Amino acid sequence: MSDVSNDQSLKAHCNKCGGTRNHWILFHKVQTDEQEINHHYSVFWTNSFRLIECQGCESIKLLHESVFSEEADENGNPIVTERYYPPSTFRNEPRWLSRLDGEWHLTKLMKEIYSAMQNSCPSLVAMGIRGAFEAIMIDRISDNGSFFKNLLAFQDAGFISQTQSGAIRAAIELGHASIHRMHVPDAAHLETALDVLEHLVHGLYILGPDAERNAKAIPPRQ
């Protein structure tokens, strides 16, 4: 079960504060049930529900812990499954995402990527990242018929370097593997692919326009 420090509080992940924090237990209810398989054997399950409040930021969430009698570790100890509602966030949306006002499709797609990340859907994250790269390339150089033709044209147009092209190619391939080869990417690979995507979006849609505005505001040489 969760790390309970006393009858009124426990330690849990806080999305707003980031990381593990002390939480007050506002409400706690345990439900158990049992089913007889035959006259000599039964299975049971237990569900624990805690409504908890962060002692720092006061945000509230539900912690659901479940145990099933037929699920145990190698030492015979019951396996406890934890779920938070809303789910724990380990990769927050970048603050600049709200500035993509004119790029509603890209903004929506990226928000869906972070939502899939938060809800432990790694294959959907990889597919979403792949789709976001495609949307960006088509936005800038139109559609050349395939991902990698688009990527080559994107590089030739000067939007990315050869090094960036290699990183984007790897991120796109991660999405291809999830779609066509039933590959489930691990968290580290997704983090890297998302780093590459964020860097590209920030550079093209945030830093680029900001730099142009700043350049226009600089007085010319006399």
Distances (CA, A) of 34 to 17, 77, 80, 193: 39, 19, 17, 45
CA distance 143 to 151: 10
Given this model, what pLDDT does residue 123 score?
94
Task: Compute the C-alpha angle 144/197/114, nearest 5°.
Answer: 120
- SS3 of 18-56: the string is CCEEEEEEEEEEEEEEEEEEECCEEEEEEEEEEEEEECC
Q: What percent of the chain has pLDDT over 90?
A: 58
Mean pLDDT of 134-144: 93
Given this model, what pLDDT does residue 7 score?
64
Q: Fill in the amino acid letter for 222.
A: Q
pLDDT, tens digit (0-9, with 9 covering 90-100), for 85-125: 888 877 888 989 988 877 889 999 999 999 999 888 999 99
Look up the pTM and report it. Answer: 0.72
pLDDT at residue 159 tops 70: yes
pLDDT at residue 5 tops 60: no
Residue 36: beta bridge partners? 42
CA distance 174 to 91: 19
- pLDDT level of residue 4 (50, 70, 90 thresholds): low
* C-beta atoms surrounding 20 within 10 Å: 11
Average pLDDT in the chain:
89
pLDDT, tens digit (0-9, with 9 covering 90-100), for 23-77: 999 999 999 988 888 777 888 889 999 999 999 999 999 999 999 887 778 887 8
In terms of Cβ atoms closer than 10 Å to its own Cβ (0-12, 13-18, 19+), residue 144 is middle
Given this model, what pLDDT does residue 1 score?
46
pLDDT at residue 202 tops 80: yes
In terms of Cβ atoms closer than 10 Å to its own Cβ (0-12, 13-18, 19+), residue 176 is middle
